[in-house]
Chain A
Amino acid sequence: MQMIQAIRASIAIVVSRWVATVLRWTGRAGTSLPGLVATRISPQLVHRLLRQLDTCVLVTGTNGKTTTTEYLHALLSQDADRWLVNRGGANLLQGLLAALLTVSDARGRLRIRRAVLEVDEATLPLIAQSAHPRLVVLTNVMRDQLDRYGEIDQTLALLNRGLSDPSVTLVANADDPLCAALAEGRMDTVLYGFSSEVATPGCPDGVRDGAFCLKCGAELTYAGYFYGQFGMYECGHCGFGRVEPHFTGRVSSCDGFRQLEVEEVARRTSIQYSVALGLSGLYNAYNLLAAVAAARTLGVAPDRLNEGVARFSPPIGRMQVFPGDPESVLALIKNPAGANSVLRALIQDPREMAVCFAINDQDADGRDVSWLWDVDVEDFVATVTCQRFYCAGTRAADMALRLAYAGVPRERVTVLAALDDVTGIACGGQVQVLYVLSTYTALHPLAERLPRRLGLRRMVSEEVHA
Chain B
Amino acid sequence: MSLRKVQIVLWAAVAVALLGYLGLTIKARDGEPVTDATFQPVFALADAEGRTRTVEEFRGQYLLVFFGFTNCPDVCPTTLSEVAQVMDDLGGDAARVQPLFISIDPERDRRLGLAEFTTAFHPSILGLAGTVQETRAAAESFKIFFERNDDAAAPDGYSMSHSPALYLIGPEGNWIKQFTYGTPAAEILADLESRL
A, B in one complex:
no
Residues of B near any A CB (own CB < 8 A): none
